[in-house]
Amino acid sequence: MKTASLVAALLTTGLTFAAEDRQHNPDSFTWNPELSKEGPVLVTVSLKSQVAAVYRNGVRIGSCEVSSGKPGHETPTGVFHILNKDADHHSKTYGNASMPFSERLTWDGVALHAGGLPGYPSSHGCIHLPYEFSKKLFGITHKGTTVLVTNSAPDVHVSNQHHLGFAGGETSDFTWNPAAATSGPVSLIFSKPDRKLYVIRNGVTVGEAPTQSGWFDKRPKGTSAFVFSGWVEGKDGVAESQWTQVGGSKANHAEPISDWFKLDPRFQHLVQGLLAPGTNLVITDEPVTSSSRSDSGFRVLQGRKEEAAK
């Protein structure tokens, strides 16, 4: 609990970046890596507010203005994983244009990189960052780092704490292939239309299972993101996982997250074995697809599969 209390305190140190208060200033950003010196990194991008935020081990350490895809070249929404990095990248598509500190999100050209920031969406699909910010971000990410892109407003309520017990449900068919990715950061993704939990490690899907009951009717609409903080003692001495909300629709219900869904107990046990501080949980009411850009829905990029097909 001491760790959780520390995280909560750090999250309320005034690092919010409300859209209504933002003035267009492409050179202005926050960067406070000393608040969390180690742990998995999560990047969130709000297309609606043109704002990015960076978390390390669940603590927000930076935020900045961005410029995403212009009409006709919209940046896709979804859970992406950095596929490769190039500090001195030049575009083969756009006349050898310089794209410093490029971090690729899709194999067909969407990336985080330093670029123009006119105060509105202006790119061909990439997410432009301030030059100095992109350099700092490049220094703390790696292949497999999770990047969450949504249409929602920025996350101005990051101090919420939630408990997750992974309530047991009926047995069901599920897939589990941990050999597909034996190491790297883990993301859990719940989709309302799909009624499924997807387990992604280092950008590769290692498992998926159907969820049961009407759990999605109990949670806010939209897309919400959480970061695993650790285990705490729950009811009757049963351990519950503790999560800190870092993005999306505010979860203001009294019920714990475990009341929102149920899983096959066997699959639940396998998932719990992968949980570590920094594990991401994304809950969305959009369908999950493996498409990189063309189809509608919330994309989940499977790095090795797309790389092999390229």
Mind telling me the catalytic residues?
A: 113, 126
CA distance 142 to 140: 7
Q: Which phi and psi angles does 277 have, rounded to 5°?
A: -50, 130
Question: Which residue is associated with the tokens 């301030």?
Answer: 130
**Are the C-beta atoms of residues 221 and 187 closer than 8 Å to each other?**
no
Q: How many CA atoms lie within 13 A of 271 on its CB side?
A: 31
E-state strands within the chain: 29-31, 41-46, 51-56, 59-65, 78-81, 84-90, 98-104, 111-114, 127-129, 146-150, 161-164, 175-176, 186-191, 196-201, 204-210, 224-233, 239-248, 280-284, 288-289, 298-300
In sequence order, the 6+-apart residues with CB closer than 8 A to the CB of 45 are 51, 52, 66, 68, 75, 127, 147, 148, 149, 150
- Alpha helices, DSSP H only, in the chain? 2-11, 131-140, 265-272, 303-309
CA distance 228 to 40: 10
Structure letter (DSSP) for residue 302? -
Q: Which of 206, 227, 181 is nearest to 271 (CA)?
A: 206
